[in-house]
Structure 1
Amino acid sequence: MTRTRRVLLAERISDAKGERSESIDAQDLKLRTRAVQEGNVTIVDAAVDMSVSGDVDMIDRPSLGKWLTPEGLEQWDEIWVTTQDRLSRSDVHFMAFVFKVIEWSKVVVVLDDPQFNEQMHTSEGRLILHAKALGPAKELERIKVRVQESHDRRRFTNRWHGGFPSFGYRPLNIFIDGQPAAFLELDEDMVNVLREMRKQIIGGQSFLGVAKYLNSTGILTARDRARLRKGKPVKSKGVEGVQEKWSETTVRNVLISDSTQGLKKHKTETVYGMDGHPVRLAEPVFTEDEWDSLQAAVARRRMTTVRRVNGTNPMYGVTFCAECDAKAVQKESRRNDKCYRYYRCGAFPKEDRCRNIVMRAEQVDEFVEIAFLQKFGKVRVTKRVWSPGSDTTKELTEVTRRMERLRKQDEEGDWDDDQEGYRFRMNQYKARRKALEAMPVVLSGWLEEDQGMTFAELWPTLDLDGKRKQLISSGFKVMVGNKTFAITPTPDNYEERKVKADALSPEEVNRVNAFHAARLSNPFS
């Protein structure tokens, strides 16, 4: 009695547009027709790999791969394909598979090559199979070249290459000459979010503060928005249905990426067109002035020494331990229904704290306020305003670099068949370089704009945290400890105070004198 042969059908169609492949239905019909003709065949399954390139190794294919594991191999005796290239277009992968099949004692049936299985088992036959495999391998190389050329042509256009767009944009699919084409357009909802993020950073907010704002208001990340557009649920850390959280890093990355300016990127580098200008996929979110001021504000962010971790400590980041330079923390105690505040060494862990470094917080707060107003009370309050300037140095360097690369390509013969195209591109570069060289260089930077008041007038309008931030931005640092109370910057000496006394009210003069008298007597000892 003839044993029934267990057959696995292997069907594949490539995702490469240049490959002329049989459809899966056509492959399946041919293989099943052959099974009916054979008669003693049981089809175990059809391993169908849709949109899988011919250079993907067979063991790595989604459907076929599971049948090539030890468990899968036990379930079939023969593997059938319509043509050899349905197995592989890579001669290396193909020959490795041939030797594996021999090792497994399996049979391979190729419908359009009846001698295939027989040739596998002789050295001469394997040489013939390798020769046959070179044809599909060469065709695969040609396909890759055509696909790459297509990508290269589109790289310098304003078409969208796919993936998920940068925050601020959404894909726009239209038809051009009957063919689908993808572009990007501004998403007004995300643009408003980016403008609010910029406003907060310019205003002095930290990246963490912006992240907390975005999370509390339920703002979706670019990745989550892309998933929803595709009909998929939001996803965070592999858990579907959970919204991805913003962090300090993601906020910063979004704000420093010039992708928000609609510029096209390739391997993290900005793509430049033949005219020497960056290729723009869509309109920018920010104007050039807004972008420059945002980048300057991001670069100036200093987070580690100014964050307030205790909501009731008005001097966090201002007061420090005189013994070890650790930040001083605020502690409270109650005696006879009265609350007393103290500053003490905040070193961590607890056992590393300097002992007996305790000072009354109210006295420190008052003396620091006096010192600040004495030093800056009559100084005008200014606001830092960004002046964009105009510096073409970066673009000029890039244009010059591209001209040099174009000349090298011409010397190597890359433009022998298109000298007209070479001259056109070189003339474009020369014209752009000439225009850039004619532009004046005006350095960008921050300017101080008068706000119409002095710090003495501003101080009463600030809350505790506003005063704390003002002290930090003014460079105030207070070292507190036993028999130590030192303020930086140093308050004015007595002679300086006499000069300023006529500009102060009698009450302010009394407070300043009391402050210096207290410092001399050292009430904290």
Structure 2
Amino acid sequence: MERISDDRNEKSDSIESQDQKLRRQVESEGVTVVGTAVDLSVSGDVDPFQRKALGPWLTEENLPKWDELWVTTQDRLSRDDRHVFRFVDWCLDQDKKVIILDDPDFNKNMHSPEGRVMIHIRAMGPARELLRIKERTKDSHERRRFTARWTGGIPPFGYVPVSRFVDGKTVTYLEQDPDMVKVLHYMREQILDGQSFFAVAKALNEMGEHTARDRARIRKGKPVHRRGAEEGVPEQWSETTVKSLLRDPALLGQKKHKGEVLYDSQGRPVMVAEPVFTDDEWQSLQAAVEARVQTKVRRVNGTSPLYGVVWCGVCGQKAAHKGSIHKGYEYRYYVCGAWPKENRCRGVSIRAEEVEGWVEIYFLERYGNQPVTERVWVPGTDRTKELTDVKSRITRLRRDSVAGLWDDAQDEFRNLMHSLMTRRDELAAEPVVIGRWQEKLTGRTFQELWAVLDLEGKRQQLIKSGYRVEVGRKSFKVTPEPESVAEALERLRSEGADTEALAEVTEALRQSGALTEE
């Protein structure tokens, strides 16, 4: 059996060296090798029974296949003295021998109380070293935690680790990956366009985009792997992973520890990389994500031609698109789409072609001269969370001072407290401005736009403009009711629509005769 950790603090023979020593010894003794368990990059504190290579050999199914386990040194079994003691006890119960090259008496010692005490004593040395390794690693992480350096692990989606030579040492930082950044902007655009998290996840899977975890495996030369599946099967994006990713402040380049953003002595987020999104892009994305999270509308698989536009005229639920084939001819209908199915309005079923035709004719007749608008995000500012975090740090600092933890560093305490209180006052003075969506004129009327859009484009535009069609057995209604052109222009003007675009639309409507002077 061969094991090596990827911890740079652990000093041990390489796998190749262990293999050579073991093979020379088995050749000299003429024993038969039935298998080799090679555990690469496995820490010394992993239980032997949990190791990927060794573990299967210790199962009941494989016990009859071997009699002796050979290793070069005792710490290759484990650096944890408790694991060694339990493993020795298990080997005695199973009547298995353990041969350790640098300790020929190990197997004999297993069979006597005094010998087992010697084994345990020898195991305490590697256990103490393992503890020192963990402490050094922890101290190293603590020192680097509030710096821009990357302390290890799987980087957030959008970033890759890069090594740089700084002050005579190789250190790791994060940099943006152009391909992943492009994917993130695509995801943002889809959410802003009203797509569901499920639809975005489905699109990413169809595009073959790998998750952050799979990308990390590929960078290390390992195969992709979905939990519960064979190696080589990639992880799948899900509704949850998309939603979590698009809410993660790591996309702003902010450093996190145990899921929380880290703040420096000034109360500002510790930055580990360049942000993927600008502040405006991030705020508009969060508003769209929050709106999607709060909606109670259930997204169905497979977008219907007018999904999100057609609604049940009886109960007000979004309509579902159904189809069937009879004698080679396809029949399509819009029916009540209430969920669960038992809540649906019975008997509400309208031929899809009729609805889509009426949308084309009726909508343009009544709304064709209406100016087309689109929603744009007007960013706000809200530093409430950062202010709360700074106040919490001040409280903890005062508590530590009362406990005497700063008695020998009063100057450092005063400087840190001054920085935090200054930052608290700066944040408290900033007004809270709520970000909002605002209508913006596109410079076209619906009549002009309709000619260049396909069915999906028309569907998306109707949704963006806030229109819905309510249908029933003998009813067809478009809401909201149309304003006069003059009323629409006045409303947009009062809501702060772009002056130049408003003037262009007004002039175009006046020349077309849709708007007349009173």
- Of 289-298 and 107-116, more deviation after overlay is shown by 107-116
1:519 corresponding residue in structure 2 = none
Shift of 1:93: 1.7
Structure 1 pair 410/97, CA: closer, same or farther in 2 (3 Å)? farther
In structure 2, the residue matched to 1:478 is: 470
Number of corresponding residues: 478
- Contact kept in structure 2, 1:321 and 1:327, CA below 8 Å: no
Q: Per-residue displacement from partner, 1:194-247 (whole Å, max 9, x unpaired)? A: 334434443445556656765676655545544554445666785777776666
Aligned residues of 1:14 and 1:53 also touching (Cα < 8 A): yes
Corresponding residue for 1:438?
Answer: 429
* Contact 1:477/1:489 (<8 A) preserved: no
Amino acid across the alignment from 2:184: L
Checking the alignment, whether the CA contact within 8 Å between 1:324 and 1:354 is kept in structure 2 is no
- Tell me what 1:97 maps to: 87
> What SS does the corresponding residue of 1:42 show, helix, strand or coil?
coil
Give the secondary structure class of the aligned counterpart of 2:472: strand
What residue in structure 1 maps to residue 420 of structure 2?
429
Q: Distance in 1 between matches of 2:149 and 2:454?
A: 51
Structure whose CA Rg is larger = 1
Name the SS of the counterpart of 2:289 in structure 1.
helix
Maintained 8 Å contact 1:341/1:362: no
The one-letter code sitting in structure 2 at the alignment partner of 1:395 is: E
For the 8 Å contact 1:332–1:341, the answer to whether it is kept is yes
Q: 1:396 Cα deviation (Å)?
A: 0.9
Give deviations 1:424-443, integer Å, cap 9, x for gaps: 44343233223323333333
Q: 2:280 — aligned with what?
A: 289
Q: Please, which of 277, 286, 294 is the counterpart of residue 268 of structure 2?
A: 277
Equivalent residue number for residue 514 of structure 1: none
Give runs of aligned pairs for residues 367-516 of structure 1, distance below 5 A.
Answer: 370=362, 381-412=372-403, 415=406, 421-452=412-443, 464-469=455-460, 474=466, 476-481=468-473
Task: Check if 1:320 corresponds to 2:312.
Answer: yes
For residue 42 of structure 1, what is the aligned residue in structure 2?
A: 31
Structure 2 contact 211–237 (Cα < 8 Å) conserved: yes
- The alpha carbon displacement at 1:395 in A equals 0.7
State whether residues 18 and 143 of structure 1, in contact with CA within 8 Å, keep that contact through their aligned partners in structure 2. Answer: yes
Residue equivalent to 1:500: none
Single out whichever of 421-430 and 384-393 deviates more from structure 2.
Answer: 421-430
Which stretch shifts more, 193-202 or 243-252?
243-252
Whether 1:173 aligns to 2:163 is yes
CA–CA distance in structure 2, aligned partners of residues 242 and 29 of structure 1: 35
Within the candidate set 286, 291, 297, 1:300 is matched to: 291
Residue 184 of structure 1 deviates from its aligned partner by: 1.7
Question: Contact 2:69/2:98 (CA < 8 Å) preserved in 1?
Answer: yes
Partners of 1:470 and 1:275 in 2: how far apart? Answer: 46
Partners of 2:128 and 2:299 lie apart in 1 by: 63
Structure 2 Cα separation of the partners of residues 117 and 59 of structure 1: 19
Amino acid at match of 2:427: L
Matches within 5 A, 1:97-116: 97-108=87-98, 116=106
Q: Which residue pairs with 1:512 in the alignment?
A: none
CA spacing shift, 1:12–1:415, aligned 2, 3 Å: farther
Secondary structure of 2:31's match? strand
Asked if the contact 2:217–2:223 (Cα under 8 Å) also holds between the matched residues in 1, the reply is yes
1:78-227 matched pairs, under 5 angstroms: 79=69, 83-108=73-98, 116-117=106-107, 119-123=109-113, 125-127=115-117, 129-205=119-195, 207=197, 221-223=211-213, 225-227=215-217
Aligned-pair CA distance for 1:145: 1.7
CA shift at 1:286, angstroms? 1.5
Change (3 A) 1:51 1:429: same
Hey, what's the Cα distance between the residues in 2 that align with 1:366 and 1:47? Answer: 71
SS in 2 for 1:404: helix
5+ residue gaps, structure 2, are: 484-508
Task: Write out per-residue CA displacement over residues 466-495 of structure 1, whole angstroms, 9 at most, x where no aligned residue.
Answer: 55555555353424125x666665789xxx
Do the aligned partners of residues 145 and 423 (structure 1) sit closer, same or farther apart at CA in structure 2, a change above 3 Å counting?
Answer: farther
1:330/1:369 Cα in 2 relative to 1: closer, same or farther (>3 Å)?
farther
Instruction: Give distance in 2, aligned partners of 1:306 and 1:314.
Output: 13
C-alpha spacing 1:402/1:343, structure 2 compared with 1 (3 Å) = closer
Contact 2:4 2:76 in 1 (8 A): yes
Q: Report if the CA contact (8 A) 2:309-2:467 is conserved.
A: no
Deviations 1:360-406 (A, max 9, x none): 965896499658965x6776554322221222211111111122233
Q: CA separation in 2, counterparts of 1:277 and 1:40?
A: 66
Residues 11/256 of structure 1: CA separation in 2 closer, same or farther (3 Å cut): closer
C-alpha contact 2:321 2:332 (8 A) present in aligned 1 = no
What is the DSSP-based 3-state SS (H/G/I as helix, E as strand, rest coil) of the residue aligned with 1:136? helix
CA contact (8 A) 2:73 2:103 kept: yes
CA distance in 1, matches of 2:248, 2:394: 27
Instruction: Find the counterpart in structure 2 of residue 258 from structure 1.
Output: 249
* Counterparts of 1:243 and 1:82, CA distance in 2: 37
Distance 2:184 2:81 in 1: 51
Supply the distance in 1 between the matched residues of 2:204 and 2:278 (Cα, whole angstroms).
Answer: 23
Distance 1:310 1:20 in 2: 59
Q: Which letter maps to 1:383?
A: E
- Match of 1:85, SS state, is helix
Runs of 5+ consecutive residues of structure 1 not aligned to the other structure? 1-9, 493-502, 509-525
Deviations along 1:319-377, one digit per CA (max 9) or x if unpaired, are 4264896736588999xxxx999866678989x88459657965896499658965x67
Instruction: Read off the aligned partner of 2:134 and give its amino acid letter.
Output: K
Q: Which among 49, 53, 63 is matched to residue 59 of structure 1? A: 49
Q: Which amino acid aligns with 1:42?
A: V
Shift of 1:136: 3.5
Range moving further from structure 2, 153-162 or 248-257: 248-257
TM-score, length-normalised on structure 2? 0.71
Shift of 1:258: 2.6
Distance 2:16 2:455 in 1: 74
Secondary structure of 1:141's counterpart equals: helix
**RMSD across aligned positions (CA):** 4.9
- What is the TM-score when the length of structure 1 is the normalising length? 0.70
Preserved contact between residue 396 and residue 437 of structure 1 (Cα < 8 Å) = yes
C-alpha distance in 2 between matches for 1:54 and 1:430:
46
Q: Give the whole-Å Cα distance in 1 for the aligned partners of 2:50 and 2:321.
A: 58
Alpha-carbon distance between aligned partners in 2 of 1:309 and 1:112, rounded to the nearest angstrom: 66
Q: Percent identity?
A: 48
- One-letter code of the match for 1:144? K
